[in-house]
Structure 1
Amino acid sequence: MSSTIVIGAQWGDEGKGKIVDIFAEKADLVVRFQGGNNAGHTLVIGDQKTVLHHIPSGILRPEVQCILAGGVVVDPEVCLREIKALTEKGVLSREGQLVIGAECSVITSYHRTLDAAREGSLEGTKIGTTGRGIGPCYEDRVARRSIFVRDLLDRKGLEAKLTQNLHEKNVLLSHYGAQTFSVEELLDELLAFGEALRPYVADANALVRNALQDGKKVLFEGAQGTLLDVGLGTYPYVTSSHTVSASACVGAGIKPQALTSIFGITKAYCTRVGEGPFPTELHGDVGEELRKLGHEFGSTTGRPRRCGWLDLVGLKYAAEVNGLTSIAITKLDVLSGFDQLKVCTGYLDKNSRPISEPPLDARELEGVSPVYEELAGWSEDLTQCRTWADLPKSARDYIEFIEAKVGVPVDLISVGPDREATFWRHA
């Protein structure tokens, strides 16, 4: 594993954090390369549950260095709160264990306020944003007015950027009837955050490149999922960053040749949080049962997740755009007890014509009808399975069906939240 990427192959919430934690046992570095604290990765080690938003899931491996690379947007208040909690637990315990890129963009109070104000103004067309200010922060980067983590250590430069930004942002906030901000009230606050973050700040992208050149094992952790990619997802119901594997090259400043394996993480069924089309969504008792059995509530927002049957059209699309070399299937145990399982293997458009891959325009995707194939279910409890042979035949058939349709091997299977409830398909 010289460089492995873990990518969400659905709409996020696939269990990437758990898989990263497992892979991190053999890694030297774990690197987040996009997104912000709109991510929510839940890890269960014994009876200890840890929910991470900013900090990479490898942090529970004390020997691993965890890095927020330049493609990440950082809310310093949230990040410091997370650092404090991990330090108090004894998880974050040594110098250099966590590095925050000086080149990460900073989420401020006006980003969060603008995010919430915009969403609140959308009558009947809400995007379903987490309201964490992620989108407005990325907007500032594209508009070449971003405040970076390094700016929090430079009073004069930070004051100049705040003056420039608030000239525009306060006009927007006033338009929405939202709170406006002054340079003075934000300057001291952000400088204080900068001083608190100073021990962790470094040129993260250079550190990652040097590690790869030195032959170290680097694990890249994606946030959200492929179908939420701002350019390749179901627009406009997407996140504000590129969530696919190629984003690791840009977000961490590495060459494409450095990538050696790409793991796509998928649940054994589908979920989605927030608004947007969801072709296999189940609105009745079966959907409620999946939500209950899978404990499907957002790690970041607490919102109940929408649940549905596994969508192989979307999964195959994710395999192609990410260049997946392997698939990890999580929550296979949740499907125990269903006599029959449906799997979406195709779409029909509104004229009943077949569609080979998901339309990226949400309006078109909302009009498709899923084509299902039915497979036999199983009644056995899978939570104690630790090998391929331990699985009932119907569960093995289900996985082999996925492999055949997607064209990518399923190499890792998870049957519960604990580290131990995960096993390799092959030795």
Structure 2
Amino acid sequence: MTRYQHGRHVRRFGAEQLCRRARWQTAPLFARVAGLLGLHGRAGDRLVDVVVGGQFGSEGKGQIAAHLAPEYGVLIRVGGPNAGHKVFEKPEPYTFHLLPSGTRRSGDALIALAPGAVLNVAHLMKEIADCEIGVGRLFIDPQAMIIEGADIDAEKPLVAAIGSTGQGVGKATERKISRGADVHLARDIPELKPYIRPTQLVLEDAYSRGTKILLEGTQGSGLSLHHGYYPHVTSRDTTVSGCLSEAGVPPSRVRRVVMVCRTYPIRVESPKQGHSGPMSREITLEEVAKRSGLPLTELQTTEVTSTTKRKRRIAEFDWDLLRRATALNGPTDIALTFADYLDAANQKARRFDQLQPDTIRFIEEVERVSRAAVSLIATRFDYRSIIDRRSW
């Protein structure tokens, strides 16, 4: 056998061995073919926009997410029922605790609840019925955690100590981490069986089609388990990094990060025997009413929590908190809400130049500190109340 013939024999034998092994390794072979055909989309396609809170929650993320939702083919929500996102609807507003805030505004979009979500089955089934969501539109990741009644009971001491919402999210998360025999995931619940599908498959299909995705975070960066004012924090990382992790979205897929901030940050009212956590200089609703010209009764009606209906504490805008939230989230855009709290006259504005001069100066200062464009401005809680300055 010549050297040439020997080389051909070796190459042929190696190829045959590779093919023979490939028949027994269908998963790697499928992965290679999927990559060649682009079934996962191109790695450089940035199709995901993320909405996160920049303060202590209740920034108005629901209003912003609902405004953006019609532009997306997939809406994803992380977190649990301890966060309520109120959206203006007629005849009355609707508060989403588990489904994305744009569920009703974008009737054609697919909806996904991520593997990092923590679910109250009764609450979820009610929202599904309220929004008339059929099988084939909603997908729930099989690894989403289920809250049990015992989780809610176990959090009662936290309600009294730090003003926790007491929805059982933290305790359920603790059980999931411990990996005990008492853990039930979404895949174990009969009522959820028709909706079970891994979020990763929904995302990969969207990537392959070039479909835009809106990922909606909950609460705010100031409540992050790792980056907030511990122990006055929530049970998860509420920054953009935490949201991406819970949803299974790689950073390379992110196009825009919209960080929502309100003109006067809030925290839940402190319980009688505890404290809900630090803020910047606290003021009263009476002072906000005096400055803005808004009726005090309107502010008192607005400033109750979406989930527990408890009163809120309110404070001056915290520039250091903005700087810190910007460092944690790296926003490309800021959505500023409650512009009417600066001046009631802002409710009439439909364009940026129609805002009050002091409000415009305030927005310009926010842009200087955050080094991000204030591209969305909510002037009141209404269906068409957002000044949209985006170029994307």
Q: TM above 0.5, one fold?
A: yes
Matches within 5 A, 1:122-141: 126-141=161-176
Counterpart CA distance in 1 for 2:226 and 2:390 is 35
CA displacement, residues 64-102 of structure 1 (integer Å, 9 cap, x when unaligned) = 111110011011121112222223xxxx3x432222211
Match of 1:45, SS state, is: coil
Match of 1:410 in 2: 374
Question: How far is 1:110 from its partner?
Answer: 1.0
Counterpart CA distance in 1 for 2:217 and 2:236 is 11
CA displacement, residues 182-225 of structure 1 (integer Å, 9 cap, x when unaligned) = xxxxxxxxxxxx22222222212331233224321000000000
Question: How far is 1:280 from its partner?
Answer: 2.1
Residue 100 of structure 2 corresponds to residue 63 of structure 1: no
Question: How far is 1:15 from its partner?
Answer: 0.5
Distance 1:249 1:29, change over 3 A: same
Residue 97 of structure 2 corresponds to residue 102 of structure 1: no
Is the CA contact (8 Å cut-off) linking 1:70 and 1:205 kept in structure 2? Answer: no
Matches within 5 A, 1:48-127: 48-60=92-104, 61-87=106-132, 92=133, 94-116=134-156, 118-119=157-158, 126-127=161-162
CA displacement, residues 39-73 of structure 1 (integer Å, 9 cap, x when unaligned) = 10111134431111011112112111111100110
Question: How far is 1:335 from its partner?
Answer: 1.9
Match of 1:19, SS state, is: helix
Amino acid at match of 2:369: K
Counterpart CA distance in 1 for 2:256 and 2:143 is 26
Counterpart CA distance in 1 for 2:176 and 2:227 is 20
1:396 to 360, 368, 376: 360
Question: How far is 1:288 from its partner?
Answer: 7.1
Match of 2:88, SS state, is: strand
Counterpart CA distance in 2 for 1:57 and 1:128 is 25
Is the CA contact (8 Å cut-off) linking 1:24 and 1:30 kept in structure 2? Answer: yes
Over the matched positions of the two proteins, sequence identity in percent amounts to 29
- Unaligned 5+ segments in structure 2 are 1-45, 270-275
Distance 1:410 1:284, change over 3 A: closer
Residue 248 of structure 2 corresponds to residue 253 of structure 1: yes
Amino acid at match of 2:349: C
CA displacement, residues 164-191 of structure 1 (integer Å, 9 cap, x when unaligned) = xxxxxxxxxxxxxxxxxxxxxxxxxxxx
Question: How far is 1:108 from its partner?
Answer: 0.5
Match of 1:317 in 2: 324
Match of 1:57, SS state, is: coil
Residue 285 of structure 2 corresponds to residue 240 of structure 1: no
Amino acid at match of 1:383: Q
Amino acid at match of 1:134: V
Is the CA contact (8 Å cut-off) linking 1:281 and 1:287 kept in structure 2? Answer: no
Counterpart CA distance in 1 for 2:259 and 2:236 is 18
Counterpart CA distance in 1 for 2:325 and 2:51 is 12
Matches within 5 A, 1:24-423: 24-33=69-78, 35-60=79-104, 61-87=106-132, 92=133, 94-116=134-156, 118-119=157-158, 126-145=161-180, 146-150=183-187, 152=188, 194-274=189-269, 275-283=276-284, 285-286=286-287, 292-294=297-299, 295-336=302-343, 381-423=345-387
Counterpart CA distance in 1 for 2:319 and 2:71 is 31
Counterpart CA distance in 2 for 1:197 and 1:287 is 45
Counterpart CA distance in 2 for 1:195 and 1:53 is 21
Distance 1:81 1:214, change over 3 A: same
TM-score, normalisation: structure 1? 0.74
Match of 1:176 in 2: none
Distance 1:251 1:426, change over 3 A: closer
Counterpart CA distance in 1 for 2:362 and 2:245 is 36
Counterpart CA distance in 1 for 2:90 and 2:326 is 33
CA displacement, residues 326-368 of structure 1 (integer Å, 9 cap, x when unaligned) = 100011012216xxxxxxxxxxxxxxxxxxxxxxxxxxxxxxx
Is the CA contact (8 Å cut-off) linking 1:312 and 1:406 kept in structure 2? Answer: no
Question: How far is 1:293 from its partner?
Answer: 4.3
- Unaligned 5+ segments in structure 1 are 153-193, 338-380
Amino acid at match of 2:185: F
TM-score, normalisation: structure 2? 0.80
Amino acid at match of 1:410: V
Is the CA contact (8 Å cut-off) linking 1:7 and 1:264 kept in structure 2? Answer: yes
RMSD (Å), alpha carbons: 1.9
Distance 1:287 1:128, change over 3 A: farther
Is the CA contact (8 Å cut-off) linking 2:48 and 2:214 kept in structure 1? Answer: yes
Question: How far is 1:106 from its partner?
Answer: 0.6
For the pair shown, the structure with the greater C-alpha radius of gyration is: 2
Match of 2:51, SS state, is: strand
Counterpart CA distance in 2 for 1:288 and 1:112 is 36
Question: How far is 1:292 from its partner?
Answer: 4.6
Distance 1:292 1:409, change over 3 A: farther
Match of 2:173, SS state, is: helix
